[in-house]
Amino acid sequence: MTTVDLAIIGAGPTGLFAAYYAGFRGLSTAVLDTLPEAGGQITAMYPEKQIFDVAGFPEIRGRDLVENLLRQAAPFEPDYLLGHQAQRLEHVDGKPVLELSGGLRLETQAVLITGGLGSFSPRPLPAAADFPGAGIVYFVPELAAHAGQDVVIVGGGDSAFDWAMALHGIARSTTIVHRRDKFRAHQATVDRVKALGTDIVVNAQVTAVHGTRRVTGVSVDVKGEGPQELPADAIVAALGFTADLGPLGEWGLELDRRTIAVDSTMATNLPRVYAAGDIAAYPGKVKLIATGFGEAATAVNNAAVVIDPDAHLFPGHSSENP
Bind-site residues for FAD: 14, 33, 41, 46, 86, 120, 278, 319
Rounded to an integer, what distance in angstroms lies between the CA atom of residue 82 and that of residue 303? Answer: 23
Rounded to an integer, what distance in angstroms lies between the CA atom of residue 274 and that of residue 252? Answer: 13
Residues making up the binding site:
14, 33, 41, 46, 86, 120, 278, 319
- Are 299 and 275 a contacting pair, CB within 8 Å? yes
Amino acid at residue number 215: V
Nearest to 307 by CA among 17, 25, 98, 99: 25
Rounded to an integer, what distance in angstroms lies between the CA atom of residue 78 and that of residue 22? Answer: 9
Residues 6+ apart with CB under 8 A from 50: 59, 60, 61, 62
The Cα-based distances of 159 to 47, 74, 271, 275 in angstroms read: 9, 29, 39, 28
Nearest to 232 by CA among 222, 221, 218: 218
- DSSP state, 302? H
Nearest to 203 by CA among 170, 177, 228, 168: 177
Amino acid at residue number 226: G
